[in-house]
Amino acid sequence: MTTPQASNGQRKIRYAVVGLGWFAQSAALPAFAHAENSELVALVSDDPTKLEEISQQYSSVQRTLSYDEYDDCLRSGLIDAVYIALPNHLHCDYTVRAANAKVHVLCEKPMAVTEDECQQMIEACDRNQVKLMIAYRLHLEAANMQAVEILKSGQIGEPRIFNSVFTQQVEEGNIRVEKEVGGGTLDDIGIYCINAVRYLFQDEPIEVFATSASKNEPRFREVPEMTSVILRFPDDRLAAFTLSFGAAKVSTYQVVGTKGDLRVNPAYAGDGEIKHYLTIDGKTQERSFAGRDQLAAEFVYFSDCILQNKQPEPSGQEGLIDVRIIQALYKSIQTGGFVKLQPTQRDRHPGMNQSIERPPVEKEPELIHAADPSGKS
């Protein structure tokens, strides 16, 4: 078997995509067309129809395997890395098994369900000297990284307040409303707000509060419909956001400083145009950022880290910090009070130097036994 090479002669990193749900099919698999240093060579799923029909869509796929054959895939010599797009409660197990087989891991967020699972993942990858990256796509996205630079430049003065709303409709039966697999607003979409304020403030929260609410609907039997959060940061900075799985689609954040404010909309979008509204001294400047293939950027970045032996910035430590905050927020909901966090320091933060632009996916593939969270097939 020959090792695939990019057009510049450099070898490509060979990936198995593990889990073929809506996001993997609609965003991850098509992204390999724009990831010149990455190659899709294997698919892992327990749905034989998905394996058969999706493998026919991507000519580079050499093997299709069931979950029972995952370890065979890891030790086959066919792959260099796995992209794990499984339900949250499976991330730890599948990451540790990959690491033990000396296979690099790009794992979707949230990294895991508990802090202990995150530690197990980090230790397994360190012990086996493989790369671990958590799939924070916005760390490579121009609009969000330019927002970081605007705040660092002092244009809005001292950033004091972060506000965000991230809401969508999720249909009954979707894994995002199943508690057992790690569903819920905090884990699924709240992590975007938590991570955004951390990279915008370039700091870590010291105290958190959360409260939840639900309408009496069958789809919210296991997880609440809505959650509102307050995060207190050093220097008396405050962040607040509200999440919902039962409201219209909204994705926006605003950072208010002592001299002005910046609003980003849609802040957490995976595709399409993103806009900045920067207001200073009552005058607003609007800037548009064209839609890009954010998953291609992830594969390009992670493959480059493997090829150049560099540590990914959205590391296991980054994933662990967000999970630690989420766990504290659940504790706050249970107790009804603020929960203090142990001081945490990050030695690296994302910025504009990490932005990678690849053209957007021209045509979404036909979904096989999958639907987006709102129920649209």
Burial classification of residue 193, based on how many CB atoms lie within 10 Å of its CB (0-12 exposed, 13-18 middle, 19 or more buried): buried
Phi, psi of 217 (to 5 degrees): -120, 145
* Whether 109 is catalytic: yes
CA pair distance 49, 51, nearest whole angstrom:
5
For 374, the token pair is 């709102």
Strand partners, 277: 263, 286
Phi, psi of 278 (to 5 degrees): -100, 115
Residues 345, 347, 351, 355: is their CA dihedral positive or negative?
negative
CA pair distance 206, 234, nearest whole angstrom:
7
Would you give the DSSP letter of residue 270?
S
CA pair distance 344, 174, nearest whole angstrom:
34
* Whether 192 is catalytic: yes
- Which residue is associated with the tokens 């002669």? 9
CA pair distance 369, 141, nearest whole angstrom:
29
> Choosing from 109, 136, 253, 268, which is the catalytic residue?
109
> Choosing from 192, 199, 253, 301, which is the catalytic residue?
192
The catalytic residue positions are 109, 192
